[in-house]
Structure 1
Amino acid sequence: METIIVQDTDAAILDVLTEALTMDGFYVLPVQNAAEDFLALVDRYKPHVVLLDYRLNGDTCKRICFEIKQRYPHLPVIAMSCNYNIDRLYGINGFDGYIRKPFDLNLLYTILRKYIPE
């Protein structure tokens, strides 16, 4: 079973993502507070993909992505954001992809399957 770490500051979004991804056959580790030692979770659970909430200016999210990429350069890290310019920001900040909020679950599954084939 493929593992996905999902971080989102909004508990309702985190619940929906966890439920939707679990129903699609993924093992989901939901994380609301990105301030904790995020890299320790990556070390412990060895996810196939990490989804990060690119909130406001994205500093915390960018730092976490950078830390992950330093240790696991091939681990896909995807930014989730309602920022209008996330399509320009994700690549220059080291993310492998992005998904705009609010998002369609079918689009989310399509993006994830790009990194985790069935």
Structure 2
Amino acid sequence: MRNLKKVFVFDDNADILELCTIILEDAGYEIKTSATSNQIIDQVLAYMPDIIFMDNWLPDVGGIDATRELKGDERLKNIPVIYFTANNDVKSLAEQAGADGYLSKPFDIQELENIIERHLKN
């Protein structure tokens, strides 16, 4: 049993979560999803993913604040966070949040897999 890399996707859109789950399980990843970034530290600590996808528009705590919280936590700051939004300004939002990369929606399946591989090699 090879050790599957773990991906955690935060998005309030159930269709996106389902799509990511299908694509990533198919590509051989273990995946967890959440529609809210409340208690982000606890959620991530409980799963300890290898990489995180963070939507911008999340209820209560938005993606920027959630990403900043993760990056401010000693135990979690080294997990790559990919900012993930349909906003045209995804690059500058990712920079504001301190994310490690970004992916625009709608995304290309190959692009999604490539960005994960790129960040997990580092």
Structure 1: gaps spanning 5 or more residues: none
What are the residue-to-residue correspondences of 1:14-93 with 2, within 5 Å? 14-35=17-38, 37-55=39-57, 60-71=62-73, 72-93=76-97
State the shift of 1:65 in Å. 0.6
State the shift of 1:39 in Å: 1.1
Unpaired runs of 5+ residues, structure 2, are: none
Q: How many residues align?
A: 114
CA distance in 1, matches of 2:92, 2:102: 10
> Quick check: 2:86–2:104 contact (8 Å CA) kept in 1?
yes
Secondary structure of 2:72 counterpart: helix
Q: Deviations over 1:21-73 (max 9, x none)?
A: 111111100111223x22112111111001011128xx611111111111122
The alpha carbon displacement at 1:4 in A equals 0.8
TM-score (normalised: structure 2): 0.87
Report the secondary structure of 1:116's partner residue: helix
CA RMSD of aligned residues (A): 1.4
Q: Distance in 1 between matches of 2:22 and 2:32?
A: 11
User: In the alignment, does 2:111 pair up with 1:107?
Assistant: yes
Matches of 2:49 and 2:107, distance apart in 1? 22
Q: Distance in 1 between matches of 2:66 and 2:41?
A: 7
2:40 maps to a residue whose letter is F
TM-score, length-scaled by structure 1: 0.89
